[in-house]
Amino acid sequence: MAIETIIKSPHKTVIIGPDHPFVIIGERINPTGRKKLAAAMQQGDFSQVRADAVAQVAAGAQILDVNAGLGVANPHEIEPQVITEAIRIVQEVVDVPICIDSSVVPALAAGLKAAWGKPIVNSVTGEEDRLEAVLPLVAERGAAVIAVCNDERGISHDPMVRFEVARKIVERAEAYGIPRADVLIDPLALPIGAVGTAGATLLQLVGMIRDELGCNTTCGASNISFGLPNRRALNAHFLSMAIAVGMPCAITNPLIPEVITAIRAADALIGHDENCAAWIRHQRQLEQIASGGQPTAGGGNRPRRRRHRR
């Protein structure tokens, strides 16, 4: 039976698995590399966070990544309160599960307190200190976790080394009581412009991790094209290729039309879109937008504007 990772918001259940339509984890709420957003968040202005949440869900994101890495000198003091506020704001305007994204453990802990339903913790690595700090938090809450295939030695270019890091994390997670279905392995998408084998390595690992570890995979899919021209086309085709080999979700930008087209096309082509209904609906929406109209309702996950109470 195919693995299913089940993630929840107050009223939505998202199933991640190779037999289900691809799940977009929206990447936009991330101040890294967005100076204006970082400055606004630091000053307590979350209007852009709110707008990014609504726009991404309207565009098709089923989960939202929330990162509060402001690049400050004292992240352990600042990030927990900023991520708490960002998650609170997001949950006010949309009803989708949260992917709590931080390299700061107290921020992950704070995010787990703030997030409703069953969130994803992003991320743990194979480093001993990360395993011991992050996995107990994930286990205690019954959350899912993204496991990134690097460890104290850094990121290996050898797929077998990354695979062994994945195995180590999965086994340690199980020792903490976290089932394999709740560990999403990130085999790491390095830029192909720097590492020519980066794409092939990732595609190879997706199948190996599914077949030999029984885990779903994910990745930050926008990194693959770094430094190259026409990144949108590369990112779009990378996504359909990842879907072809069985990757069930990725952290990506649903506001890029090429990304949505790639995912809807790949879902239809691989048989995850009954009667190609989502594809046909997506094309109708594009036609309406092109002719100056508004897309009709019901085409995606519409944002909810009501407040939800846990």
The binding site for its own copies (CB under 8 A) comprises 192-193, 196-200, 203, 224, 228-230, 233-234, 236-238, 240-245, 261-262, 265-266, 268-271, 274-276, 279-280, 283-284, 286
User: For the chain, give me the number of helices (H) and strands (E)?
Assistant: 10, 9
Is the CB of 43 or the CB of 275 nearer to its own copies? 275
Is the CB of 177 or the CB of 196 nearer to its own copies? 196
Surface-to-core class of residue 58, CB atoms within 10 Å of its CB (0-12 exposed, 13-18 middle, 19+ buried): middle
Buried b (16+ CB within 10 A) or exposed e, 10-32: eebebebbbebbbbbbbbbbbbe
CB of 157 to its own copies, least distance (A): 12
Question: Pairing mode, if any, of strands 23-29 and 63-67?
Answer: parallel
Tell which residue, 14, 34, 41, has the closest CA to residue 25. Answer: 14
The one-letter amino acid at 22: F
Is the CB of 167 or the CB of 272 nearer to its own copies? 272
CB of 269 to its own copies, least distance (A): 4
Tell which residue, 150, 154, 152, 178, has the closest CA to residue 164. Answer: 150
CB of 148 to its own copies, least distance (A): 20
CB of 273 to its own copies, least distance (A): 8
CB of 243 to its own copies, least distance (A): 7
Is the CB of 10 or the CB of 193 nearer to its own copies? 193
Q: Residue holding tokens 């180590």? A: 168
CB of 204 to its own copies, least distance (A): 10
Q: Residue holding tokens 């944002």? A: 303
Is the CB of 137 or the CB of 234 nearer to its own copies? 234
Round to the nearest angstrom and report the end-to-end CA distance of the chain: 33
Is the CB of 76 or the CB of 284 nearer to its own copies? 284
Is the CB of 244 or the CB of 289 nearer to its own copies? 244
CB 145 within 8 A of CB 173: yes
CB of 260 to its own copies, least distance (A): 11
Buried b (16+ CB within 10 A) or exposed e, 202-221: bbbbbebbbeebebbbbbbb
The one-letter amino acid at 39: A
Is the CB of 23 or the CB of 262 nearer to its own copies? 262
At residue 207, the 3 state secondary structure works out as helix
CB of 167 to its own copies, least distance (A): 23
Name every residue whose Cβ is closer than 8 Å to that of residue 239 and which is 6 or more positions away in sequence: 22, 221, 250, 252, 259, 262, 263, 266
